[in-house]
């Protein structure tokens, strides 16, 4: 159980920057499409 918990913690730490990057990319593309509509 502790081993699994440690693995999930490592996964969260490694995955967090990727998730942030993906969210940032989605927000940027959304803003760009809004600007293009204008």
Residue 27 scores a pLDDT above 70:
yes
Q: What is the DSSP letter of 29?
A: H
Instruction: Judge if pTM exceeds 0.85.
Output: no
Cα–chain center distance at 6: 21
User: Could you state, in order of their start, the residue ranges of all structural domains in the chain?
Assistant: 1-38
Q: What is the mean pLDDT of residues 1-14?
A: 90
Of the candidates 26, 4, 23, 1, the residue with the CA atom closest to the CA atom of residue 12: 4
Residue 38 scores a pLDDT above 80:
no
């Amino acid at each position: 159980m502790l081993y699994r918990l440690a693995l999930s913690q490592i996964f969260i730490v490694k995955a967090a920057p990727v998730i942030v990057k993906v969210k940032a990319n989605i927000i940027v593309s959304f803003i760009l499409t809004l600007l293009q509509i204008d």
